[in-house]
Amino acid sequence: MTETESIAYDVIVLGAGPVGENVADRTRAAGLSTAVVESELVGGECSYWACMPSKALLRPVIARADARRVPGLRQAVQGPLDVPAVLAHRDYYTSDWKDDGQVEWLNGIGAELYRGHGRLTGTREVTVEGADGGRRVLTARHAVAVCTGSRAALPDLPGLAGVKPWTSREATSAHEVPGRLIVVGGGVVAVEMATAWQAFGSQVTLLVRGEGLLPRMEPFAGELVAEALEEAGAKVRTGTSVTSVTRENGTVVAVTDGGDRIEADEILFATGRAPRTDDLGLESVGLKPGSWLEVDDTLRVDGSDWLYGVGDVNHRALLTHQGKYQARIAGAAIAARASGGPELDTDAWGAHAATADRAAVPQVVFTDPEVAAVGLSLAEAEAAGHRVRAVDIDLASVAGAGLYADGYRGKARMVVDIAREVVVGVTFAGPAVGELIHSATIAVAGEVPIGRLWHAVPSYPTVSEVWLRLLEAYRDQ
């Protein structure tokens, strides 16, 4: 069809990833008619090219590493991974890149799905161009929520376009193991994918422009991950930039700023993210295409009374769980404003104001060892002007760690605001520490006084007994 249709809804959501789905869920629960526009797969980046496939790839890698540290079990797991089985497991978790189940869920909440590319074409107006050639003009009575996420940002390098490099999408969806893989970057995507593909049989070379891995976390976290990657056979080169890339007879050749030529079968660039706002018609409402959206704590775009930017597009915290948190708040704020009530207050539940995406952002890096952090690092806290003290504990000193694995290596750091006697940041690095981070998140988000944390008694013998050791170290300093 080619005719133009015009349909009105209470709310229009651009993007059907986890963020858009959660906005739609909240607005529909409030009784607001809601249209959702998606140009790719319902479920978005997280479901098909990020969180789910990457963790499905990494789980067997980490489980094998843990098993190799357990007496009586290590000899049974010395062989290679069954890579086809791992990839099949990954495909299962992506539903083979089909979104039937997600569409069924969206239909179940009563939202209307429009497949196609949606652009803002005026105040409260979105024009959708469908694959069938049809144009539909949607108008919103109350709100339009931009939930289009982010994409991999590639550097401007000579020869890069002709190389067809991997981004996070190719790294999580590939069906063949490259014999040699260059990974450019030192952040979360870089270290997770280096961990996975090295375990699958690739010879991985990690090229890091900075001086260490995971630069936004405590230095010891990146040091432990780099040590483990090198022990697994990967090469980690810090202080190294790529100046050009070519593909010669099928082989990738990366040239570094030091003049070295490094050859591989594939090259992955994990060098940051950019907002998916370049072709959304932002110019039609006075905003700059390709920009991050500046929003207030209700996720409403600054200067607008109807446009919301939720999830990665606002650059507050580029993590799926934080985007879903924002979506719940945005949905509640839209519903409250649509009801015609007074300007929003932050109630006891904080239903209408996002704060955790600034002060208490948890993150887990699924490497071997795992890294988990929430709140401020020591350097960030000091830069922000807080009077803080950091206490460090060798995780191997905790009884539960030794039981978990022979030769357990790890470290914990707690950063305390000494003026208020509350925890403002915690970082763990070591096997299985991802399951420790929610307790730290509660301590940071709740601003629990150190004096009260003494009465949160950890079970013995578990790795969580590290909390007792951290508090003792703080007391004794």
The Cα angle at residue 89 between residues 88 and 90, in degrees rounded to 5:
90
Q: pLDDT category, 348, cuts 50, 70, 90? A: very low
Q: pLDDT category, 357, cuts 50, 70, 90? A: confident
Q: How many CA atoms lie within 13 A of 11 on its CB side?
A: 34
What is the pLDDT averaged over residues 106-118?
Answer: 97
Q: How far apart are CA 324 and CA 22, in angstroms?
A: 6
Q: Which two tokens stand for residue 293?
A: 């959206």
Q: What is the pLDDT of residue 158?
A: 82
**Beta strand 251-256 with 273-275: parallel, antiparallel or unpaired?**
unpaired
CATH of domain 160-271: 3.50.50.60
Q: What is the pLDDT of residue 341?
A: 62
Per the CB < 8 A criterion, the answer to whether 19 and 147 are in contact is: yes
pLDDT digits (tens, 9 = 90+) for 457-475: 999 999 999 999 999 999 9
Contacts of 462 (CB under 8 A, 6+ apart): 400
pLDDT digits (tens, 9 = 90+) for 294-324: 999 999 999 999 999 999 999 999 999 999 9
CA distances from 41 to 18, 163, 260, 328 (A): 11, 26, 41, 21
pLDDT digits (tens, 9 = 90+) for 203-229: 999 999 999 999 999 999 999 999 999
Q: What is the pLDDT of residue 132?
A: 82
Domain layout of the chain by residue ranges: 4-43+99-151+275-356, 160-271, 369-476
Helices (H), 211-354: 219-232, 320-338
Q: Which two tokens stand for residue 51?
A: 């969180």
Cis peptide before 369 (omega within 30 of 0): yes
What pTM was estimated for this model as a whole?
A: 0.94
> How many other C-beta atoms can be found within 10 angstroms of the C-beta atom of residue 379?
15
| Assigned superfamily of 369-476 | FAD/NAD-linked reductase, C-terminal dimerisation domain (3.30.390.30)
What is the pLDDT averaged over residues 179-191?
Answer: 98
pLDDT digits (tens, 9 = 90+) for 133-152: 889 999 999 999 999 999 99
DSSP 292: P
Domains 4-43+99-151+275-356 and 160-271 share a fold: yes
Q: What is the pLDDT of residue 432?
A: 94
Q: Which two tokens stand for residue 73?
A: 């079990």
Q: What is the pLDDT of residue 139?
A: 98
pLDDT digits (tens, 9 = 90+) for 66-85: 999 999 999 999 999 999 99
Q: pLDDT category, 249, cuts 50, 70, 90? A: very high
Q: pLDDT category, 6, cuts 50, 70, 90? A: confident
Q: How far apart are CA 36 and CA 17, in angstroms?
A: 10
Q: What is the pLDDT of residue 356?
A: 85
What is the average pLDDT value for the chain, to the nearest integer?
Answer: 95
Q: What is the pLDDT of residue 349?
A: 45
What is the pLDDT averaged over residues 398-409?
Answer: 94
The correct answer on CATH 3.50.50.60 for the domain covering 4-43+99-151+275-356 is: yes
What is the pLDDT averaged over residues 263-284?
Answer: 97
Q: How far apart are CA 112 and CA 469, in angstroms?
A: 53
Q: pLDDT category, 102, cuts 50, 70, 90? A: very high
Q: What is the pLDDT of residue 274?
A: 97
pLDDT digits (tens, 9 = 90+) for 420-441: 999 999 999 999 999 999 999 9
